[in-house]
């Protein structure tokens, strides 16, 4: 079955059994499984086909690939989904409403899609520091995933983690397995992480905490070489030479367009059990779900589970 990429113009109205919002690992895995079951899901890619993974340089922990770039992995998944009959629309959802048992999706282009079931797989974006050099050195020493990029480090490397919560502490502890030295940079004088996590951190000889400091600039030539730190107490500055910087200051879920339809946690992540949300007919998978592990394989697995749950839902209609 050939691939299909639908074109949308203003006021277009399309109807389909299932619409998947998001084209990252979760959305694409769901579309592959549904297409193999005889459905022709529509996949709304938004403005980032392939999701956040498209920006990841090298992946070493996705089963079946000893090493693959995030871009290549997502392109393979998209090609497979299209080859099976999934239909792609390169549009963004503005709002969703439930009318007479079906879902009306308003796109920013003005078009309307009508569906019996929808999967929310829009993921989440990492919060950025917002300092000069951050964008320039992304994937050139600056990373948001220690699990993805930490094992690439050599034993003699020095790295830094920015953050003060559980994620930042876990990143620092994980990186200490590979790097010779790990700095944890926090803008306050105490961490937010759980006590048990802090105890592990403070007992690790490889890790040093730099308190009351913020990264003010990221520097280097072709790759990251150093960062400038600014004191949150007296505004004094210092330079720290490092080989890698891992930012762990939180994530932002892409869920604003569906806030009044499903139950969410305090941070805007969708609450879902086995991909089922509080709204009948709405399913959620991947990083947009509360408690997600923020890993590609977990997202893909939850997408496959969503496909099964969607099939069950459609059978009962």
**Catalytic residue numbers?**
145, 148-149
Residues 219, 226 contacting (CB under 8 angstroms)? yes
Phi, psi of 84 (to 5 degrees): -85, -10
Residues 117, 281 contacting (CB under 8 angstroms)? yes
Residues 224, 140 contacting (CB under 8 angstroms)? yes
Long-range contacts of 197-204 (CB under 8 A, 24+ apart): 197/166, 197/169, 197/170, 197/173, 198/169, 200/169, 200/173, 201/169, 201/172, 201/173, 204/172, 204/173, 204/176
Structure tokens at 136: 């320039």
> Looking at the chain, which runs of residues are DSSP E strands?
4-5, 13-21, 42-44, 87-89, 93-99, 102-107, 112-120, 124-126, 142-143, 158-162, 181-185, 207-210, 213-220, 224-231, 237-241, 244-247, 251-253, 282-284
Q: Which residues contact 25 (CB under 8 A, 6 or more apart)?
A: 51, 53, 74, 77, 286, 296, 297, 299, 300, 303
Count how many Cα atoms sit within 13 Å of the Cα of residue 223 in the half-sphere of its side chain. 9
Return d(Cα 53, Cα 181) in angstroms, integer. 27
Return d(Cα 31, Cα 21) in angstroms, integer. 10
């Amino acid at each position: 079955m050939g691939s299909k990429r639908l074109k949308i113009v203003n006021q277009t109205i399309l109807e389909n059994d299932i619409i998947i919002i998001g084209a990252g690992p979760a959305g694409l895995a769901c579309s592959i499984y549904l297409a193999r079951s005889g459905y022709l899901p529509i996949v709304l890619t938004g403005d980032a086909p392939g999701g956040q993974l498209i920006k990841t340089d090298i992946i070493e922990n996705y089963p079946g690939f000893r090493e693959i770039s995030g871009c290549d992995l997502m392109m393979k998944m998209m090609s497979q989904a299209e080859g099976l009959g999934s239909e792609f629309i390169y549009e963004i959802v503005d709002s969703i409403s439930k009318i007479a048992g079906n879902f009306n999706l308003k796109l920013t282009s003005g078009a309307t899609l009508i569906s019996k079931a929808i999967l929310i797989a829009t993921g989440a974006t990492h919060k950025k520091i917002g300092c000069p050099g951050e964008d320039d050195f992304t994937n050139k020493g600056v990373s948001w995933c220690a699990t993805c990029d930490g094992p690439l480090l050599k034993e003699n490397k020095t790295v830094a983690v920015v953050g003060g919560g559980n994620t930042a502490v876990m990143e620092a502890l994980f990186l200490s397995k590979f790097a010779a030295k790990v700095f944890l940079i926090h803008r306050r004088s105490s961490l937010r992480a759980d006590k048990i996590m802090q105890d592990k951190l403070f007992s690790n000889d490889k890790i040093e905490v730099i308190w009351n400091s913020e990264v003010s600039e990221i520097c280097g030539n072709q790759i990251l070489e150093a960062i400038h730190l600014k004191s949150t107490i007296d505004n004094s500055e210092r330079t720290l030479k490092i080989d890698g910087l891992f930012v762990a200051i939180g994530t932002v879920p892409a869920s604003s367009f569906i806030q009044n339809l499903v139950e969410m946690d305090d941070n805007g992540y969708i609450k879902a059990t086995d991909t089922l949300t509080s709204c009948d007919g709405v399913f959620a998978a991947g990083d947009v779900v509360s408690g997600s592990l923020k890993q590609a394989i977990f997202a893909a697995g939850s997408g496959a589970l969503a496909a099964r749950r969607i099939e069950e839902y459609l059978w009962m209609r």
